Chains A and B, each alone.
Chain A
Amino acid sequence: MNRSAVDLWFMEEVLPLEAALTGYLRRKWREANEIPDLRQEIYTRVYEAATVAIPELTKPFLFMTARNLLIDRARRAQVVSIETVIDLEDLDVADTVPDPERNAVGREAVRLLQAAINRLPPRCREVTLLRKVHGLPQRDVARRMGISESTVEQQVAKGVRLIADAMADIAPEPIARRLGRARKAGRS
């Protein structure tokens, strides 16, 4: 696929904020099962806005978009407590979430990612391990596991969705912990 400047901006600037965005949506929106849909809608809105002009500051823009969407949805909902709307409007979102680690996946994130892969269903986990950790191409994964290439492809399709969802929970580490106690805390 040909990548545009907007694609790159979206992947490098917006997606690393997903853990923070998901956390924000969870705190502000009671219906947990609606969060993936809200998130995709927010992504669609920021992407479309960026095709006109890429915003200078991604984080405030993303969270402003999120907040506006939540207010829209809350107002449209049949029953909504006044409290919810006030709470949404009250919050200066841009300051409440930490910056993500830039271009780096910290040790803690790697650990959480490993944990996420551990939770995959057995066959899917094995395909993912061979493909991503051991770096085997799909064809070799199939041969090694004695399953068909199309089965491997199906497992990849399943694994990528589960991994993407797991990453939505991998929040950036606060700097102090990352540099100092993080290692010790990670082992037990």
Chain B
Amino acid sequence: MIEHDPIEEQAARWLARQDAGPLNAAAKAGFDAWLATSTRHRVTYLRLEAAWRRADHLRSPGQATTLPLPPTDAPPAPWRRWPARRAARWATMTAAAAAVLLLVLPLVDEWDWPFAAGQKFSTGVGDRYTAHLQDGSQIELNTNTRLRASVDQTAREVRLDKGEAFFEVVHDDKHPFVVISGDLRIVDVGTKFSVRRDGDKLEVVVAEGAVLVEDMAHPNDVPPTLVTQSMAAVAQPKAIRKSSRSEEQIREALGWRHGTLVFTDRPLREVAAEFNRYNRKQLVVPAEGPMGDIRIGGSFEATNVDAFARLLHSGFGLKVIDDGREIRISN
């Protein structure tokens, strides 16, 4: 969605107009006057212009392969379905056609869009991102997460390759929303839920509605498990365990959606592992000894590991050595 912002709307119109061709004298005077009205106009315009220019990087002749465009009387919009791997075949097919213009495909090995493999979304360490799908569903990606979404009129499928995400699904009986992660399949039954993947272990927390969790690799050993509101399921190959969660526990589990880590009586060892998902600077707690068992409770900013380390020092009297890459905790 575009926010309603009259200045940005005007800036975008001026930019689009100049993108069409040079302004005539009268229009140019109008544009200059608009720019001079306030600094806000100017910075808004410059921001859009920079973004529009940056999009030119999609066309990088240095690494490009050139292909002819189809003749102009060809049916419009075939490029919607041009995945890279089919480009070669397509080129052969149209080699006979007179090439009027050059089509430049940058970074051919990564050119599997639009739609070839669905949309891909990813976040780096400490980042979050909300993806809006065309069916109205939303996916919030937590730190260090990667997923692919294929959502169209016929099917709705998301593959979670790694990390954690919160799904707000617009329910549609005819087209169930399916999340696949490893061998597990989660089918929504009208829902808000989160899925977190750690290797082949999966945790599903249902905030609203219900989902069905299935082990696709072992359909005979593990029956599909219905997980309803205020429940969670931990699934591993050949095992799906269900447990109930209080409202507060659900809020804690989803604290990351606001950038917060919430702990109630959790051992320091686990708390450190949680922080390490969100920060490049890693907390190191000795594997042996009682320190890892120190109980931690409270609400912390996920990406502010320094503040947490300071608290360990001032609150628990632990020694904290920070070398910029790691924070080592000791007695």
Contact = CB atoms under 8 A, between A and B. Distances in A.
B19 interface: yes
Nearest to A173: B124
Nearest to B52: A160
Nearest to A125: B114
A186 B58 contact: no
B277 interface: no
A99 interface: no
A138 B19 contact: yes
Interface in B1-54: 2-3, 5, 7-9, 12-13, 15-17, 19-21, 31-32, 35, 38-40, 42-52, 54
Instruction: Report the contact-size class of chain B (Cβ under 8 Å from the partner).
Output: 35 or more
A137 to B, nearest CB: 8
B107 interface: yes
Given A23-B127, A44-B39, A36 B5 contact: yes
B144 to A, nearest CB: 10
A181 B303 CA distance: 23
Given A1-B35, A144-B76, A171 B58 contact: no
A169 B48 CA distance: 15
B106 A110 contact: yes
Given A36-B3, A133-B59, A134-B103, A115 B43 contact: no
Nearest to B41: A44
Instruction: Report the contact-size class of chain A (Cβ under 8 Å from the partner).
Output: 35 or more
Contacts of B3: 33, 36
B252 interface: no
Interface string A158-188: 1011111101010101100100000001111
A157 interface: yes
Nearest to B109: A187
Interface in A18-55: 18, 23, 26-27, 30, 33, 36-37, 40-41, 43-44, 47-48
Contacts of B101: 134, 136, 140
A157 B31 contact: no
A111 to B, nearest CB: 6
Contacts of A177: 124
B19 to A, nearest CB: 5
A131 B19 contact: yes
B91 interface: no
A15 B42 CA distance: 13
B45 to A, nearest CB: 8
A126 B49 CA distance: 19
Contacts, number: 177
Given A118-B119, A161-B12, A174-B280, A169 B51 contact: no
B2 A158 contact: yes
B56 interface: yes
Given A11-B50, A144-B76, A105 B57 contact: yes
A143 interface: yes
Interface string B246-278: 000000000000110000000000000000000
Contact of A27 (B39, B76, B301): B301
Nearest to B307: A90
B51 A167 contact: yes
A36 B40 CA distance: 12
A174 B55 contact: no
B48 A164 contact: yes
A15 B43 CA distance: 10
A169 B122 CA distance: 11
Contacts of A152: 20
Interface in B64-82: 69, 72, 76-77, 79-80
Interface of A: 1, 7, 10-11, 15, 18, 23, 26-27, 30, 33, 36-37, 40-41, 43-44, 47-48, 87, 90-91, 96, 105, 107, 109-115, 117-119, 125-126, 128-140, 143-146, 149, 152-154, 156-158, 160-165, 167, 169, 171, 173-174, 177, 185-188
Given A132-B58, A133-B104, 16 more contacts: A1-B31, A1-B32, A26-B128, A36-B5, A47-B42, A96-B303, A113-B55, A118-B119, A126-B77, A134-B103, A138-B21, A149-B20, A157-B13, A161-B9, A163-B52, A188-B161
29 contacts: A7-B42, A10-B43, A15-B46, A15-B47, A15-B50, A26-B259, A30-B258, A40-B43, A44-B38, A113-B55, A114-B113, A115-B113, A118-B119, A119-B119, A125-B114, A132-B58, A133-B106, A135-B104, A137-B21, A144-B76, A153-B17, A156-B16, A157-B9, A160-B15, A161-B48, A167-B51, A169-B129, A174-B124, A188-B146
